[in-house]
Amino acid sequence: MTGTKAQVLVVGLGPAGAAAAEAAATAGAHVLAIDRRAQVGVPVQCAEFVPMMLGVETAAVSAARVQDISTMATYVREAAADITPDFRGHMIDRAAFDAALVARARAAGAEVRLATSLRAIAPDGTCTLSDGTRLTPRVLIGADGPRSRVGQAVGMANRDLMETRQITVDLPAPYEATDIFLRPEIEGGYAWLFPKGKVANLGLGILPARKAMLKPLLDELHAELLAARRVGPKIHAHTGGLIPTGGIVGLAAQLGETQVLLAGDAAGLVNPITGAGINPAVLSGRMAGQAAAAFLHGDAQAPEEYAQEARDLFGPSIALALTRRRDLLAAYALCGPDDAALRRGWIAYDQYWSRTPANALSEVKEPA
């Protein structure tokens, strides 16, 4: 190694990497954590909703909380909203959230380098960073998002991805629901309006093949909501990004003597229907960091146990979402989804959760 005595290299300082760096450093490992961004969490590429449970487990949520969410309102085509009561969570300032997680990693003793990219990974695990550092860590944690370079190096890369576009607009009146818009023209995705105090995130996710429709569909929805006086005309910010929708790609591998662990989006730990990935990123990152430290302390089984525990925790919900997504996309191949198919493909409806024998038989299994 040159320039560092790190035993654990964490690539990416989103929620997964920051949680991993904190956990590994807390358990006594020498951790170097890098991110190519110059400022943690900026630009924000997120609709910024987290479930209530994450707030209970993670102090960074209170540092970044903007408002609470109490219900979900789902609009199927132009019909009136179906209300899901007791859908509780928080809207956060995602940049503040990521910064709070990184501050905790630093406080635990992790060395953090921003504006520093992972440039290359050799087959023996040697990593070359953009600042010239070369190191062969004992554990390499890939928390580098949907297009993970670490994942690619071990042949575990996300192949199915959703394209998104989001604007931030004014919200004339306080609002406590997350609005979901299901329409056949939003192929393989949906649109959302998430309130955040005096503004709201209005966005859309769609299949990559329909990427050209992102802007016109979002403009149309903005105009509709504007006409209904639900949002203002001014666009304060634009963002977008990729969301993995293909399920878990893999969690543990080896490059020479280097143990490789993937966490968060890099591992495909995102719900393929909702696109929610912050909670699994934090939890899997924490688990990966703990496994890295346990491995350094002599527990040779720790990487495999991490992989198994993460599959046990996230696998069932991801497998169900994959099944629903596959069925929804199959409906497009016929004559397009009707209202029943749209409902069966969304978490607000009983049909999504019902496991009839026929559904169980068709369920997509996670790869071992």
In angstroms, the CA 9 to CA 128 distance is: 11
Strand arrangement of the beta sheet that strand 235-244 belongs to: 82-84, 71-76, 177-182, 190-196, 199-206, 161-170, 235-244
Q: Which range in 33-41, 306-314, 336-344, 348-356 contacts ligand FAD by CB under 6 A?
A: 33-41
Alpha helices for the chain (secondary structure H)? 15-26, 52-57, 59-64, 94-107, 149-153, 214-227, 278-296, 302-333, 339-344, 350-353, 357-362
Nearest to 25 by CA among 285, 359, 345, 329: 285
**158 is an interface residue for ligand FAD by CB under 6 A:** no
Q: Which range in 25-33, 39-47, 297-305, 326-334 contacts ligand FAD by CB under 6 A?
A: 39-47
Residue nearest to ligand FAD (CB): 277
The least CB distance from residue 267 to ligand FAD, in Å, is 8
In angstroms, the CA 233 to CA 177 distance is: 20
Among 55, 189, 268, 277, binds ligand FAD (CB under 6 A): 277
Two tokens at 120? 């290359």
Q: Please tell me whether residue 155 adopts helix, strand or coil conformation.
A: coil
The least CB distance from residue 340 to ligand FAD, in Å, is 26
Q: Which range in 40-48, 180-188, 221-229, 328-336 contacts ligand FAD by CB under 6 A?
A: 40-48
In angstroms, the CA 37 to CA 116 distance is: 7
Among 1, 4, 30, 36, binds ligand FAD (CB under 6 A): 36
First to last CA, the chain: 34
For residues 72 and 266, which CB has a smaller minimum distance to ligand FAD in the complex? 266
In angstroms, the CA 109 to CA 289 distance is: 13
Q: What is the dihedral of CA 313, 253, 15, 174, to 10 degrees?
A: -50
Is it true that the peptide bond before 357 is cis, omega within 30 degrees of 0? no
**16 is an interface residue for ligand FAD by CB under 6 A:** yes
Among 117, 128, 136, 152, binds ligand FAD (CB under 6 A): 117
In angstroms, the CA 94 to CA 115 distance is: 19
**134 is an interface residue for ligand FAD by CB under 6 A:** no
**278 is an interface residue for ligand FAD by CB under 6 A:** yes
Q: Which range in 48-56, 73-81, 132-140, 245-253 contacts ligand FAD by CB under 6 A?
A: 48-56
In angstroms, the CA 282 to CA 265 distance is: 10
Two tokens at 67? 């408002």
**45 is an interface residue for ligand FAD by CB under 6 A:** yes
**22 is an interface residue for ligand FAD by CB under 6 A:** no
Q: Which range in 79-87, 144-152, 216-224, 339-347 contacts ligand FAD by CB under 6 A?
A: 144-152
Total of residues contacting ligand FAD (CB under 6 A): 39
The least CB distance from residue 182 to ligand FAD, in Å, is 17
* Cα angle for residues 361, 325, 333 (degrees, 5° grid): 95
Q: Which range in 14-22, 107-115, 247-255, 354-362 contacts ligand FAD by CB under 6 A?
A: 14-22
Among 23, 34, 135, 251, binds ligand FAD (CB under 6 A): 34
**157 is an interface residue for ligand FAD by CB under 6 A:** no
Binding site for ligand FAD (CB under 6 A): 11-17, 34-37, 45-50, 117-118, 143-145, 149, 164, 166, 203, 240-241, 243, 264-266, 270, 275-279, 281
